[in-house]
Amino acid sequence: MRAVVYEQFGAMPEVREVADPAPARDGVVIGVEATGLCRSDWHGWQGHDSDIRVLPHVPGHELAGVVQAVGAEVTQWRAGDRVTVPFISACGRCASCAAGDQQVCQRQTQPGFTHWGSFAEFVAVDHAEVNLVRLPEDMRYSTAAALGCRFATAFRAVVAHGRVEPGQWVAVHGCGGVGLSAVMIAAAAGARVVAVDLSPGALALAAEFGAEVCVDGGAVADVPAAIVSATGGGAHVSLDALGSPATCAASILGLRRRGRHVQVGLLPLAAGPAVLPMERVIGWELQVLGSHGMAAHAYPAMIGMVRAGTLRPDRLIARTIGLDEAGPALASMHTAPPTGMTMISPRGAA
Ligand SMILES: [Zn+2]
Ligand SMILES: [Zn+2]
């Protein structure tokens, strides 16, 4: 098969002919029709992710496609099924999985990290019965792949952790892929959304996707004060969708009493520890929650809203490229961050 391969961390990935993957006994091989380019792929390529232990490596974890081959123990899936997967492949057997919390599985694997990923014509996914999500016939592969890690994570953050109710105020700090997803999802849930970003372009998109108030973080001296003022006392729910010590603290300080902060953006230790205003958390009985993907069994509610047109992940896709362009696109993510999602079509038509 053709795949995007890198030999060394930071070395330009190349498209190469490599061996096709084979399914594990309880796994499948998926023919990749669409796969999203994500900042996590860039971090992995830079050597920031300790899950990538063996080189050469193939990145990619936000995928949709067609089941190509199934292992001997797989009974619920067969070749030809249209599927997507959460970015975490759960084991299905640990205590977290037994509790229905596959998104924090204790023995998780991740295509594109613990093994070769989806910037390829085929990708292997373990424990198929736990991890595959069936796609409606009328859903495009690119739309399904756009649910990827960012949209599904934002959905869980807003709906399951934020427990957003119609009319409540939701603040979203950082309007990249996950932030814009959160804006769209919160607005669809009937919330009033305040979007915060440094980029006027990102704020314009946030407004397009349903933000009622946009706060230019570079233009106001005190972001939390701006949110408190715009929302008549602070947000009910606030997300740090960027992942930095500053946006995390601002998100907490922009809440009203008994509000909920959900940390969605990664806070790598390399960027320094986040100092949180815990005196505020105690005094105002705030909740501080982490969000890490979403289990396969939770997808149908989200997919139902996509089919109904209430959620439009397809609108987050800014461009679609072929496998040959994927390496350079990955390499330039840091210096020229794309606006909106980049979708890769390993077979030419998503
Ligand atoms: Zn597990
Ligand atoms: Zn991702």
Same domain for 205 and 106? no
For ligand 1, the distance from its centroid to the CA atom of residue 106, given in whole angstroms, is 5
Q: Say which CATH number the domain at 99 has.
A: 3.90.180.10
Rounded CA-CA distance 88/37 in Å is 16
Same domain for 331 and 203? no
Rounded CA-CA distance 272/227 in Å is 26
> Could you report the per-residue pLDDT of 17-27, keeping only the tens digit for each?
999 999 999 99
**Chain-centre distance of CA 165, in angstroms?**
22
For ligand 1, the distance from its centroid to the CA atom of residue 296, given in whole angstroms, is 12
For ligand 1, the distance from its centroid to the CA atom of residue 167, given in whole angstroms, is 37
Structural domain includes residue 146: no
Same domain for 286 and 195? yes
Strand ranges for 46-159 from DSSP E? 62-70, 82-84, 122-125, 133-134
pTM of the entire predicted model: 0.93
For ligand 1, the distance from its centroid to the CA atom of residue 289, given in whole angstroms, is 21
Strand ranges for the chain from DSSP E? 2-5, 14-17, 28-37, 62-70, 82-84, 122-125, 133-134, 169-173, 192-197, 211-216, 235-240, 255-263, 287-290, 317-322, 341-345
Task: Give the total number of structural domains in the chain.
Answer: 2
Structural domain includes residue 306: no
Structural domain includes residue 145: no
Same domain for 96 and 165? no
Structural domain includes residue 296: no
Q: Say which CATH number the domain at 221 has.
A: 3.40.50.720
CA atoms 336, 337, 340, 346: torsion sign = positive
Structural domain includes residue 147: no
Same domain for 124 and 227? no
For ligand 1, the distance from its centroid to the CA atom of residue 279, given in whole angstroms, is 35
Structural domain includes residue 226: yes
**Which ligand has its closest atom nearest to the C-alpha of 106?**
1
**Chain-centre distance of CA 328, in angstroms?**
21
Please give the angle made by the CA atoms of 38, 76 and 113, to the nearest 5 degrees. Answer: 25
For ligand 2, the distance from its centroid to the CA atom of residue 232, given in whole angstroms, is 35
> Could you report the per-residue pLDDT of 283-305, keeping only the tens digit for each?
999 999 999 999 999 999 999 99
Instruction: Name every residue whose Cβ is closer than 8 Å to that of residue 320 and which is 6 or more positions away in sequence.
Output: 34, 142, 342, 343, 344, 345, 350
Which backbone phi and psi does 349 adopt, to 5 degrees? -140, 110
pLDDT tens for the chain, 350 residues long, are: 999 999 999 999 999 999 999 999 999 999 999 999 998 899 999 998 899 999 999 999 999 999 999 999 999 999 999 999 999 999 999 999 999 999 999 999 999 999 999 999 999 999 999 999 999 999 999 999 999 888 999 999 999 999 999 999 999 999 988 999 999 999 999 999 999 999 999 999 999 999 999 999 999 999 999 999 999 999 999 999 999 999 999 999 999 999 999 999 988 777 788 899 999 999 999 999 999 999 999 999 999 999 999 999 999 999 999 999 999 999 998 887 667 789 999 987 55
Structural domain includes residue 30: yes
* Per-residue pLDDT, 177: 86
**Would you state the structure tokens that stand for residue 300, as one six-digit string?**
């149908």
For ligand 1, the distance from its centroid to the CA atom of residue 103, given in whole angstroms, is 8
Instruction: Name every residue whose Cβ is closer than 8 Å to that of residue 269 and which is 6 or more positions away in sequence.
Output: none
User: Which protein residues have their CB within 5 A of the ion that is ligand 2?
Assistant: 38, 40, 62, 149
Structural domain includes residue 143: no
Domain housing 331: 2-135+312-345
> Could you report the per-residue pLDDT of 304-349, keeping only the tens digit for each?
999 999 999 999 999 999 999 999 999 998 887 667 789 999 987 5
